[in-house]
């Protein structure tokens, strides 16, 4: 395992694993994901956003549990990982810039959150699967290197306005088939897509065994008490149908078995 990637992850808050999906297969995977994201999106076009995407599409099933990816994340979080969220996304032409933010469980907009100032502790890892090329013009995600060491993220009621460009920010760029791995605390934002082509990706988040992900799961007591009773708008992870689960590779089943519908 590359020590330099670990060093970059801990110092900058992110790194990239190249060629995780073979070049010979990426076009078919991208087309499949784009089709099913647009068919099931919760957002208005040209945006595409589908939580629990594995319910509808299993094109990434051979890769998200690969030893290269899981081994790297285990080196960060330890053994007994689980996939906490699996989201399909498409940023279509004309998408504007989004707000800089941190992800769950650090995002202060959610009801189920670690209150700021949150501790300097890695609790959740985000992987962004580049299914089309990530370019500056095409909407490669905006990141702020080193921001994962801050105890809070930009907020509208705070001193740093989330919509404004931040000094030192950059964009994730990479060939289709690359996987960006970043600390959930890292400040990041949707970038404008100034091309005529959609930017297709999947966002797969990995959690350690000790992180309680039940507030993300509809129907659980934790979600009812922590989120719904507070009129919260946290992300959610729809249950995975058992018929889909039983067809997944055994290595992937180990990572998602907690989310199978009873």
- Looking up residue 201, the CATH number of its domain turns out to be 2.60.120.620
Q: Which domain holds residue 196?
A: 3-251
Q: Phi/psi zone of residue 223: left (φ > 0), alpha (ψ -120 to 50 degrees), beta?
A: alpha
Structure tokens at 158: 């705070």
Residue 259 lies in a domain: no
- Per-residue pLDDT tens over the stretch 152-183: 999 998 899 999 999 999 999 999 999 999 99
Q: What angle do CA 46, 201, 109 make, to 5 degrees?
A: 75
pLDDT band, residue 232 (cuts 50/70/90):
confident
Quick check: 2 pLDDT over 60?
no
How many folded domains does the chain comprise?
1
Residue 260 lies in a domain: no
Residue 208's φ and ψ, nearest 5 degrees, are -75, 165
**Which stretches does DSSP call E strand in the chain?**
14-17, 47-50, 82-91, 125-130, 142-143, 170-171, 179-183, 188-189, 199-207
Residue 203 lies in a domain: yes
CB-based burial of residue 253 (10 Å sphere; 0-12 exposed, 13-18 middle, 19+ buried)?
middle
Residue 99 lies in a domain: yes
Query: What value does the mean pLDDT take over residues 211-238?
Result: 88
Which residues touch 53 (CB under 8 Å, ≥6 apart)? 33, 36, 37, 40, 86, 87, 88, 202
Q: Give the span between the Cα atoms of 103 and 185, in whole angstroms.
A: 6
- Per-residue pLDDT tens over the stretch 19-64: 999 999 999 999 999 999 999 999 888 999 999 999 999 999 999 9
| CA-based max dimension of the chain | 49
Residue 262 lies in a domain: no
Can you give the pTM of this predicted structure?
Answer: 0.95
Quick check: 259 pLDDT over 60?
yes
pLDDT for residue 3: 55
Instruction: Using a pLDDT cut of 90, give the percent of the chain over it.
Output: 90
What's the residue count for the chain? 262
């Amino acid at each position: 395992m590359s020590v330099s990637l670990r060093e970059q992850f801990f110092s900058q808050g992110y790194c990239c694993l190249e060629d995780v999906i073979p070049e010979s297969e990426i076009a078919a995977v991208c087309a499949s994901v784009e089709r099913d994201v647009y068919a099931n999106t919760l957002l208005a076009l040209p945006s595409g956003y589908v939580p629990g995407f594995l319910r509808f599409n299993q094109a990434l099933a051979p890769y998200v549990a690969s030893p290269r990816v899981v081994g790297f994340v285990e080196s960060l979080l330890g053994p007994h990982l689980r996939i906490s969220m699996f989201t399909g996304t498409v940023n279509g032409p004309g998408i504007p810039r989004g707000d800089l933010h941190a992800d769950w469980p650090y995002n202060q907009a959610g009801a189920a959150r670690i209150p700021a100032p949150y501790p300097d502790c890695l609790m959740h890892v985000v992987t962004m699967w580049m299914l089309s090329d990530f370019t500056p013009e095409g909407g490669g995600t905006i990141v702020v290197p080193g921001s994962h060491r801050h105890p809070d993220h930009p907020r509208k009621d705070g001193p740093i306005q989330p919509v404004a460009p931040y000094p030192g920010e950059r964009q994730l760029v990479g060939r289709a088939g690359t996987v960006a791995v970043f600390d959930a605390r890292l400040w990041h934002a949707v970038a404008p897509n100034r091309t005529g082509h959609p930017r297709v990706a999947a966002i797969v988040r990995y959690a350690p065994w000790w992180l309680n992900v039940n507030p993300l799961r509809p129907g659980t007591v934790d979600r009812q008490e922590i989120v719904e009773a507070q009129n919260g708008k946290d992300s959610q992870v729809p249950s995975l149908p058992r018929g889909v689960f039983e067809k997944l590779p055994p290595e992937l089943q180990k990572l998602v078995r907690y989310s199978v519908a009873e």
